[in-house]
Structure formats: C-alpha cells, structure tokens
Structure 1
C-alpha cells in the first residue's frame, strides 16, 4: 500500500509516527521497516531565512520526531539541546531574540543552507539531510520554491512573517489574511504530484488547515492532483471538542471565517464530490454530533478517539483513517 500524507509540523509529525508504527505492525518486513510506502508532502510556508540560514520548521519537526531525536517536552527542536550559539547571536544583536535555535538544530540549518547555496533544490537538500536518519518514509517539501507566509495585521495591509506573528506574538494580533508570497509562480517539488497520483490512499494529517494544509493545497497543481486522485482522501480533524489540539490554529480559522469545530473544518475542506478534497473525515469521540453534518456534506465520517497521547494511540488513529477509506 502506498500512502501519501499532506502534513504540517508537530501534529503531522506525531500522526506520521503513528502511521509508520501501525504499518510496521501490520506489514513487517523483518528488518524493522515496512513493506508499505509512506510519502509525507510537507508544508514549507513557515520557512524563512534567518541569520543567513534557511529554516524549515515543519520538515525538521517531522524528521526529528520520526528519528526519535525531538524534544517531546517542548514539542519542537532536538532533545538534549544547548543554546550557546543563540546566546552569542543575541549578544551581537543578530537574528530574532525571541526565536531561539538550539546548537544541534543549527547543524541542520547550516547543512541545508550549504546545500541550497551549492545550487541544490530544497527537495534534494531534504533527501540528503533525511538520509542520516532512519525515518521509514519519504520526506518531500511541497515545493522547492520559496513560498513564505505573511500575515496581514491591519487595514493598511501591514504584514509580519508568519513566524513572528506565531512565535513572538503568539497569534495575539488579529489576522486579517494570510498571504503565501509567490505562490502563484510556485511548482510542486519533484515527486509530489506523482506521490499523490500513485497513492492507494491520501491522508490529510491533523495539521493547521489554513497555514499548513492550506499552503500545500495552494501550490498550483497540488489541489487538482488531490481532487482528481484515484485513491480515496481521508482527513483527521485537528479540532477536538471545539478546541484546537495544539498551537493557535483557532486564530487562523477565525481569520478566514471558519468556526473552530470539527464539522466546520470538514466543510472548509469540502467533499471531493462537490469540488473539495475529502472523501472521509475522522472526528473525535467528543464530536460525535458532527458526524451527521459531515455525512450530509457528502463526506464519510466516524467519531473515534483522536488524542495522540502516545505511540499506540497515534497508531490507532492511523488505523481508523485507513479503515474509513475502505469501501
């Protein structure tokens, strides 16, 4: 079975880890791997240049999580980090003092920047970086082009980079809109459209619908590939019991006029039968009342436990998503 997952960072990383665990349990190949093929198509709208380095937060969150090298307590970065370099940068007045990069993490950013400045596209740089780790899947940026998200914060059209709005201001400044710079000229990274077209199942991870999944689908060609895929498309709600699981995705949903509710996010994505991207949608057990609403929109739905408390619960969610895709 070939599975392609559209994914953002932390929530997507935990879902992918559960999916990998489930498939290894169901189809072990005897070598600790899996006979199934997983491709993660990852949001790059959060990316940026900072102190001369190219930072790709979502790609790195997934890579570290699958490699077992992430800091589970903080939810981002590497375990056992030190921050001596960031302290030196602050002393020099360079960079963003509120955006701390750990020393081990900086090694990844330096390596990525070296590859990019050597002329490699982001997809090839990602492949070389990921080759260090036993990820058990293929990691693809949604695009090799720089499509950074800017947040419109006032009626005059003033904008901030998404990371400044998200990390520094904690989404406290009301967002008027989200702009993906140069998205119209972007193209899917090599392998992305093929991964969707050749998949037996396409999954939409429980990631931010606006600035993660929305950015991926906004790259010309990707939405069309999803809507015309021969495989079923099943999503997992990032909203449980009327609240986002992690971060401030509710502020993003509010900015585009979508309620923070499992059924509202499903309707935002829409049914493939009516031009949307979903065939199926998992909601949390707390949101069982949303199932009839989603079904009425032409999307198969089921209410199951969605809290990814550990590896087993994450794997159970992946199992349910696959089951929902079956006729």
Structure 2
C-alpha cells in the first residue's frame, strides 16, 4: 500500500510518526510538504515545515520546544543578532543553521528544492519520502491594515496578534506541483490530509495551480484528519488564520471549507474527535463520510491508532 500525506509542521510530523509506526514494511509513505512558510534569513533559505518533519522522523528534534534540533546551542545566532543580519525574534540553533547552510549552498549551485529534499532526507533512515509541494518559491505574505508582512514575522514575532485580512503566496500563479508531489498523488492508494493548519500549511499546497485537479482526479480516496478538537486548535494559532478567511474554528467548518470531492472539493472522508461527534451526520449528508474517533496524538500508540483509523476510513 502506498500512502501519501499532505501537510507540514509539527502536527503533520506527529501524525506521520504515528503512520510510520502503523504501516508494515511492505507499505510506503510519501509526504507532500508545504513550502509557503519558507523564507530567507541572513542569506540562508529556511524551511520550517520541512525541517520539523525531517528532524522528527530522524529522531533528532527538540521535543520540549517543539521545533529545531535537540541538544542545541545558539552561539552563531547571537553573532547574527549582534551583526544585525537576523531579527532577534527569530533564533536559529547552530545545528539547525548547518541544515540551512547546506540547503542554501545546493540551491545556489542550481539544484531544485526537490533535489535538496532528497539530499537532506538521505542523511537519516526516515522511513518516509518527503516532496516539496512545488519547486517554486511561494513565500506567504500576510495582509494587514498596515500593509504586508512575511508570514514568519506575523507568526513568530507578533504571535498572530495583528489582525490578518488575508494570506497570499508570492509567485503562486507561476508555480506547479513538483514532479515528486505529482507522482505521489497519482500513484497513491490512500491520500491523507494531516492535522496541519488548514490555512497556512494545507492551504498553500492546494493553491499551487494544478494541485486541486490532481487530487480530484486521484484514484485514491482522500481522508482528512481534523486539527480542531472541540472548537479549539490542538497546536499553534490556526484559529487566527481561520478567522482571517471567514471560517469558524470547528472540525465541521474546516471540512466544509475543504469540501466534498463529489461536489467539487477534495474530501471523501473526514475524521473528527469524539467530542465533535455532532458533525458526523451533517458532513456525511454533504458527501463527506465522517467518523468520530479519539484524535489526540499523545504518544506513539495513540498517534498510530489515529493513522490506522484514517487509513481504514479511506479504504
């Protein structure tokens, strides 16, 4: 069985870890990763969603902070701040900087983002293949009353406290699905939307021209896992993002936002938490087969069970 996951960030990483725990040695996992929160800092290309997945799957992530490498030092970051080449509100660890330097060197040498993903992924036995959603730079800009700012500034520095009026990806009109993403979707037996931020992690992937057509034409069933439980976000500030696009912070509203594939959307199925069981019948009536199961990814066992439930619904 070939399983393709779409998402990015910590929520996606925890879900994929559970999926890896669940599948057999005969199965394969591909992850189509959001690249729209990537950006340039001190001349280096930073890719937070990809690196969260890479480090978690390699077992070298910082599980306390929830991002970056474990056993980090930050001496170089202090120097970058002193020289004024990096904002003080965005700190990178020394080991993490090694990844960014390698990535930037390969990109400067003319390699594609897909090439860089393969190089970085070859260092460890991940048990998963990561693909960028696109090889085009599509950094997300947040539209505010004061103007536009990069998503990372809005997210990290301002903690999403500045009201957002919308989100736009630069160069999105000229982007296309990467070859790896295309192949992973076309040849999947199961496609899963991770419990990632629907607006800034899943949304930019779906915004890549041609991506929705690929999903609607896929032979595999598409099942999403809600990152909203009992009206609250599990992690991060997805509620601020949903409010900016006029979507209620609820498992039902997010599923309606994605839409039923039979009605022009992308979902065949949707997993909600037991606390959101009231959404099952209304969503099923819309053509999205919905089940209520425990969704908290507390440990490897619970994460594997959520993965098992998602695959079972798809099959």
TM-score by length of 2: 0.99
TM-fit CA distance, 1:94: 1.6
The equivalent residue for 1:322 is: 311
Q: Does 1:116 align with 2:123?
A: no
RMSD (Å), alpha carbons: 0.7
For the 8 Å contact 2:223–2:268, the answer to whether it is kept is yes
For the 8 Å contact 2:142–2:167, the answer to whether it is kept is yes
The equivalent residue for 2:62 is: 71
For the 8 Å contact 2:221–2:268, the answer to whether it is kept is yes
TM-fit CA distance, 1:219: 0.3
Can you list the C-alpha shifts for 1:175-231, whole angstroms capped at 9, x where unaligned? 001000110101111221111011001000000111111100100111110011111
TM-fit CA distance, 1:40: 0.2
CA distance in 2, matches of 1:7, 1:210: 11
CA distance in 2, matches of 1:199, 1:91: 48
Aligned length: 315
TM-fit CA distance, 1:294: 1.1
The equivalent residue for 2:7 is: 7
Q: Which runs of 5+ in 2 are unaligned?
A: none
Q: Does 1:233 align with 2:222?
A: yes
The equivalent residue for 1:217 is: 206
For the 8 Å contact 2:114–2:180, the answer to whether it is kept is no
Q: Does 1:170 align with 2:159?
A: yes
Can you list the C-alpha shifts for 1:242-277, whole angstroms capped at 9, x where unaligned? 001100000000011100000000000000000000
CA distance in 1, matches of 2:193, 2:282: 19
TM-fit CA distance, 1:16: 0.4
User: Which residue among 100, 106, 111 is the counterpart of 2:97?
Assistant: 106
CA distance in 2, matches of 1:165, 1:77: 19
Can you list the C-alpha shifts for 1:45-98, whole angstroms capped at 9, x where unaligned? 000011010000000000000111101111100000000000111111221110
The equivalent residue for 2:134 is: 143
Moved over 6 A (4+): none
Q: Which runs of 5+ in 1 are unaligned?
A: 28-33
